[in-house]
A and B are shown apart, each in its own frame.
Chain A
Amino acid sequence: DAGVIQSPRHEVTEMGQEVTLRCKPISGHDYLFWYRQTMMRGLELLIYFNNNVPIDDSGMPEDRFSAKMPNASFSTLKIQPSEPRDSAVYFCASSLYSSYNSPLHFGNGTRLTVT
């Protein structure tokens, strides 16, 4: 199994530009999570999906952030327009059923820098 795959690994963009982060979860996993990690705030849950349906998006910081999961093997996190304070490492993670009995599997993250 290739694990959770995220792209790109690094993204540098200018303020105001649109940024799209991509994630391919582990095949068969029905939960998908987007996290953001910063030195100031640690790991924060942004949104998660169950069977491609958004369940909890209360962690999405602003309307500038949106996430989609058009099918079981692909999800995107979009920031439009981007701002310097969005600079962080964004992780995608997936699990089978819920993490109640199943550990969470993380991708290697996308390091976003907004100048």
Chain B
Amino acid sequence: KQEVTQIPAALSVPEGENLVLNCSFTDSAIYNLQWFRQDPGKGLTSLLLIQSSQREQTSGRLNASLDKSSGRSTLYIAASQPGDSATYLCAVEGSTLGRLYFGRGTQLTVWP
């Protein structure tokens, strides 16, 4: 069974810092990897989707990379802002189409 691990579980940084969130998965046979953001009391919002044939995706200050062979992905957030405070989850779609496996998330706090 696919297992997804996110490190660190929590991160607190001052505004303006560049930061990296890590995600690892045990089975490299994936269709894609997605990064989500979850605000308290809300559902998940998809940030970036990287197909298995891609190496990275960028959206604004966010950049996600994928190294399928090593089972790793990173989410890079440039020039962090207090509004970036949220829980960030990664999920992989494995060999069964439609079934996503989620990590437990990294809770990010950006203080002014």
Listed stretches A67-75, A77-85, A96-104; interface member = A96-104
Kindly supply a per-residue 1/0 record for chain B positions 39-80, scoring 1 wherever the CB is within 8 Å of any chain A CB and 0 otherwise: 001111110010100000000000000000000000000000
Asked if A106 contacts B51 (CB within 8 A), the reply is no
B46's contact among A48, A50, A98, A103, by CB below 8 Å, is which?
A: A103
Q: How far apart sit A4 and B102, CA to CA, in the bound complex (Å)?
A: 20
B43 near A108 (CB under 8 angstroms)? yes
Q: Are B46 and A105 in contact (CB under 8 A)?
A: yes
Which chain B residue has the least Cβ–Cβ distance from A111? B41
Q: Which residues of A sit under 8 angstroms from B99, Cβ to Cβ?
A: 45, 48, 56
Describe A's contact surface by its main secondary structure: strand
Q: Known contacts A45-B100, A56-B99: does B51 contact A101 (CB below 8 Å)?
A: yes
Contact count A vs B, C-beta below 8 Å? 62
Smallest CB gap from A102: residue in B: B49
In the complex, how many residues of chain A place their beta carbon closer than 8 angstroms to a beta carbon of chain B?
24
Those of A7-49 within 8 Å (CB) of chain B? 31, 33, 42-43, 45, 48
Chain B's nearest CB lies how many Å from the CB of A69? Answer: 14
User: Closest CB of chain B to A106's CB: distance in Å?
Assistant: 3
A106 adjacent to B32 (CB under 8 Å)? no
Q: Are B45 and A99 interface neighbours, CB within 8 A?
A: no
Residues of A within 8 A of B81 (CB): none
Known: A91-B44, A99-B34, A99-B98; 7 extra A-B contacts, CB below 8 A, are A43-B91, A45-B99, A45-B100, A99-B49, A100-B51, A104-B100, A106-B36
Please report B residues at the A interface, Cβ cutoff 8 Å.
31-32, 34, 36, 41-46, 49, 51, 89, 91, 93, 96-100, 102-105
